[in-house]
Amino acid sequence: MTVPTGERGTTTVAPRAVRRIAERAAAEALPDGGSVLRGSAGVRGTSARISVGVRLPYPVRADEAARRIRERATARTAALTGLSVPRAEVRVDALSAGPAPVVPEALEAAAGPEGGRPGPRIRAERRVPAAVLAAAGAVVCGLVLADVVVVRFGGDPAGWRTAVLDWAATHGPADSAVRIGGAVAALAGAWLLGCALLPGLRRRLRMAAPGPEVRAALDREAAARILRQRALGVPGVVRARVTVRRRRVGVRAGVGYGDPAEVRAEAVRVLDAALPELGLTRPPALRVRVRREAGLPPEPEKSVEPVPLAAGRADAGRADAVSGQDAAGRSDAAVDGAPGAPDARDSLRDGGEA
């Protein structure tokens, strides 16, 4: 028996249920030490769009982990809800420091499938400008439509529309108010055009794509934390400040001990090896500056050549003689005399008695 189409009913999957399924599916593909922070989902007809934010352990290959999570969330959501998932977004919002399995691929430079070709650029969604423009357009169009309907049914036009028309009829392009209004409208149009054409997301660095359908980006703050941890692991570095820009990485390190030149050379070597591990399309240039920390003791000076033994004995005898003069109060003749010589007063007394 076949049920007519009109009597079959409909099945609706709420966006909340889609979000919970996507979060659980993403958690199934997370590496050890990772967690799902938050997710979102939207349902339109028979398709759904999902977005999941995750926390990954450090160190881990972020692009590979995100690809596995995205594939798992897409497949499980489509299988359990019956909806098509044309787009799934995975955001790595945080890194957790802790023991994680060592992945051999993480030690190699992340390169694209065809010689490190950059993946598609991630574009900003521009939610705030789009919402403001939509709200303003809806308000203006609603007011105009309501006034047109009222006039159509025999009512009087709104006072604001009459005032606007009268003002526009009495002011020409040469008026200052018209010029200012035109300049403001031109600036607003240029701003909206830039929001539509420019990709945005200047705080994220473009990463090489491991697959043709994968777009990856690394936040500058996350890259700075990774490089700072590597710099603090260099012997002699007690403080480090890292600034990551799109084309350059600046590192200022404070040296607590050791030769600053040797510490800088080691820091450059370590950071040069850490830059390719970030998996960026174009690794930025590295600039390292070091300086000795204030308030720390300077390096001990090198020891001088030892004094010969004979000279050392003479100096020691002279010092003993001086200290003996101060302690016993003897005369210079008695001190400088040979050992066992009689005192001068004893010689005079013996001569007098003789």
168-187 burial: b if 16+ Cβ within 10 Å, else e: eeeeeeeeeeeeeeeeeeee
Q: What percent of the chain has pLDDT over 90?
A: 3
SS3 state at 66: helix
pLDDT in tens, 80-94: 988 889 888 888 888
pLDDT band at 337 (very low <50, low <70, confident <90, very high): very low
pLDDT in tens, 248-277: 888 988 888 888 888 888 888 888 888 888
Instruction: Decide the pairing of beta strands 204-206 and 248-255.
Output: unpaired
pLDDT in tens, 88-117: 888 888 887 654 444 444 334 444 444 445
Determine the longest span between alpha carbons in the chain, in angstroms: 160
Residue 332 has pLDDT above 70, yes or no: no
26/336 Cα distance (integer angstroms): 95
* Mean per-residue pLDDT of the chain: 74
205 burial type by CB count under 10 A (0-12 exposed, 13-18 middle, 19+ buried): buried
